[in-house]
Amino acid sequence: MLRQFMSGKKTLSYFILFFASILCAYANVNTVDSLINLCNHHLDNHENEWAFRVEVELDKQIGNSEINLQYANYLSVKAALASRRKNYTAQEEFLNQYNEVAKKMNSPKLIGTGLIGNASYYEQFGDIKKALPFFLKALDQFKEIQDETQIAYLYNKLGLIYYEDQDYNRAKTYFMASFVLFKKHEKESNLNAYWIQNCLSNIGLCYEQLKLYPKALAYMKIAMAYCQTAPFGRDRPIGVIKTNLGVIYSYLGNYTLALKNLREGIETCLDPKNLEIGHGIESLIYLSNIYTQINRYKEAQDCLDKAKILIYEEKFFSVFDVYYPQLARLSFATQNYKEAYLAQKAFSFYCDSIDKSMEKSTFSGQILLHDLEKQKMENKLLQHENEYRSLQIQVGIGFVILFFIIIGLVYYNLQKSKARNHQLEYLNSQVNVQKTDLEKLNSTLEKINQNKSFLIQSVAHDLRTPIGNVLSLNNLLEEFITTNEEAVEYNKLIDSSCMLALNIIEDILDQSMIERGKLNLKLEPAEIQTLITDTTSLLQFKSKPKSIQIVYKLDTPLLVKIDSDRIKRVLINILVNAIKFSPRNSVILVSQWQDETTCFISISDNGIGMNQDLLNHIFEKNTTSAREGLEKEQTIGIGLSITKSIVEEHGGKIKVESTPNSGSTFYIELPIGTSV
């Protein structure tokens, strides 16, 4: 997370450190240990020139080398100084000497520190594959001596490695483990306080990458609260944390808090004493991005202008990889397409130059590593050559054995395939026989079904004639009983019962025709309101005994091109069900309305309703065959399935809404068709 401290801004710190060196000299503390500590101090602050000056005096003071802790610390500093000079051969030599001293002293702590040095050596070349084993060995070494502070540091380091490798869950696990240990030893050193907030921030960044923004926000807030009370220089981590908070708030869509935290964090980061100018410049560019998203283009441009000035002043040219894309986005948003094109072109040129530079750097690093290991490879060359010859003989023998094994397997598989093919042929012949039998059986079933339909149709036709005769005789009888009210009532009951019986017969005939696909409609203009009132009148003999009232809510008169007899049966089937499942003294509402193309009819009752399972199958044949009415009324179970078929043959739709114990409502939609 740390940004490199740039040259040109350190005059005041140089003066302070120089003055401190003079005071140390007067205090007679210019010993080897103090020189080592002073050199490490300069290295930590990236003051290489001052570190090199201290090195000269340190070389004079070290004298004869003795195997002790002081000499080990001296070798560690020399390795770090060689790294700063990019003299990697010397760095490796000093690291090897340090490891020898650590082994001779039999100090697990020094051995672990040496392993960290080896890991850092490979890490500076970007060779994490070689660095990671050394970090893990160092971790085992410090676990053995239970040095929890070093263990916490290594957990944090491993977390950073896995974070760069985009394994955010594993990185989060290491950061959490590091936090627990640093928190345990918080009071031992102020430096531990810095690492605690660092772990909290890193956990938040892992959750941010995992897009778990509420958790990321929570950890960043904890890190911020800790920084406000922790015993170390707070300005530096607070600036970074505030900018990270701003980024997370922007992901959560809270642009007000995002802008507030970003502005405050950027102001802190751009303070030279906090060593976070690079992070501040990147945050400025992200702030410009947020302003662009909320259409505040002037503020977005101001941020980019300031960022560009700082990039050139502080020589943070690597930030151009985010500067140019944001400039392109802003230019595009403001419809300055020429500027957007130039920004994209500059970004492409920058990427090409970076790629070439990285290729060159990587190639140089590979050459350097190759030179360092060349001697080791030459020493093992003869051994490998002998091993290779032995391996050739073994491979030759193995190929011969493998050849015979393959031949045997091929022969075995061929025999097995032949047996399998014979079995498949036999099974195929059995399948063909069964297929033929099923076709014959299906043909027989089709004939039986046709005979059944023909029988039903014949019986229905035979029943329709006598019932029709009864209805005709009843109409003639009506002329002779006009003075007897009770007889008139019975006459009407006979008339309605005959009509209902005829309707059931028509349902049976229609079901037979539907099964054979021969349902033919006789479409003629009919007034839908008259059809509804006539139909409900036919059912008075059903509703009156239960004191059920059928009321209307009809629109203006409308002629619809329909098959009147069949639509009447649709209404009868629905109304009969409504009466059957409604309690006494209830109301059934029949509504009708229309628009330019469709006539709508709804029939609502206050009956027992239906559950979801019954609703899913309500329009299927025989669904209600086992469902009796409230007063044990029976049904043949085909009415609603015929109803659906008739409505759909008219090009219409039918649906039902129902809740148990709250009644049901059927909705019918019929196309109006040709107006008359």
pLDDT confidence of residue 21: 44
User: What DSSP string describes 475-504?
Assistant: HHHGGG-TT-HHHHHHHHHHHHHHHHHHHH
Total residue length of the chain? 676
Residue 367's pLDDT band, with cuts at 50, 70 and 90, is very low
Residue 419 CA from chain centroid, whole number? 50
Distance, CA of 530 to CA of 536 (rounded, Å): 10
CATH 3.40.50.2000 holds for 522-671: no
pLDDT confidence of residue 502: 74
pLDDT confidence of residue 407: 92
State the angle between helix axes of 69-84 and 88-105 in degrees (0 to 180), rounded to the nearest 10.
160
Q: Percent of the chain having pLDDT more than 70?
A: 81
Query: Looking at residues 296-315, what average pLDDT do you find?
Result: 85
Query: Looking at residues 125-133, what average pLDDT do you find?
Result: 79
Residue 64's pLDDT band, with cuts at 50, 70 and 90, is low
Cβ neighbour number for residue 388 with a 10 Å cutoff = 10
Residue 280 reports pLDDT greater than 70: yes
Residue 14 reports pLDDT greater than 50: no
Write out pLDDT tens, residues 389-401: 788 888 889 889 9
pTM beyond 0.85, yes or no: no
Residue 19 reports pLDDT greater than 50: no
Residue 374's pLDDT band, with cuts at 50, 70 and 90, is very low
Query: 465 or 433: whose pLDDT is higher?
Result: 433
Q: What share of the chain is helix, strand, coil (3-state, %, to 5)?
A: 75, 5, 20
Residue 93 reports pLDDT greater than 60: yes
Query: 17 or 51: whose pLDDT is higher?
Result: 51
pLDDT confidence of residue 355: 55
Q: Are 39 and 54 in contact (CB under 8 A)?
A: yes
β-bridge partners, 666 = 603, 656
Q: Are 55 and 81 in contact (CB under 8 A)?
A: yes
Write out pLDDT tens, residues 215-227: 988 888 888 888 7
Residue 656 reports pLDDT greater than 90: yes
Token code pair at residue 203: 């956990």
Residue 114's pLDDT band, with cuts at 50, 70 and 90, is confident
Task: Give the Å distances, CA to CA, from 145 to 64, 119, 137, 183, 247.
Answer: 31, 20, 13, 19, 41
Distance, CA of 391 to CA of 259 (rounded, Å): 67
Query: Looking at residues 509-528, what average pLDDT do you find?
Result: 76
Tokens 């904890």, located at residue: 222
β-bridge partners, 598 = 671
pLDDT confidence of residue 30: 46
pLDDT confidence of residue 143: 85
Q: Which amino acid is at 536?
A: T
Query: 461 or 611: whose pLDDT is higher?
Result: 611
CA torsion 340-342-346-352 (nearest 10°) is 90
pLDDT confidence of residue 637: 58
Q: Which of 263-277, 384-398, 619-633 has the highest mean pLDDT?
A: 384-398
**264-268, 360-364, 445-449: which range is least confident on average?**
360-364
Query: 377 or 195: whose pLDDT is higher?
Result: 195
Residue 360's pLDDT band, with cuts at 50, 70 and 90, is very low
Closest CA to 506 of 565, 577, 562: 565
Residue 177 reports pLDDT greater than 60: yes
Residue 9's pLDDT band, with cuts at 50, 70 and 90, is very low
Mean pLDDT of the chain: 79
| DSSP-derived 3-state class of residue 200 | helix
pLDDT confidence of residue 142: 85
Residue 645 reports pLDDT greater than 80: yes
Query: Looking at residues 139-144, what average pLDDT do you find?
Result: 84
Cβ neighbour number for residue 490 with a 10 Å cutoff = 14
pLDDT confidence of residue 369: 47
Classify domain 147-232 at the CATH topology level.
1.25.40
**56-65, 152-161, 284-293, 655-664: which range is least confident on average?**
56-65
pLDDT confidence of residue 601: 95
Q: Which amino acid is at 17?
A: L
Closest CA to 583 of 615, 535, 549, 625: 549
Residue 363 reports pLDDT greater than 60: no
CATH 3.40.50.1370 holds for 234-307: no
pLDDT confidence of residue 667: 96
Query: What's the start-to-end Cα distance of the chain, in Å?
Result: 83
pLDDT confidence of residue 593: 94
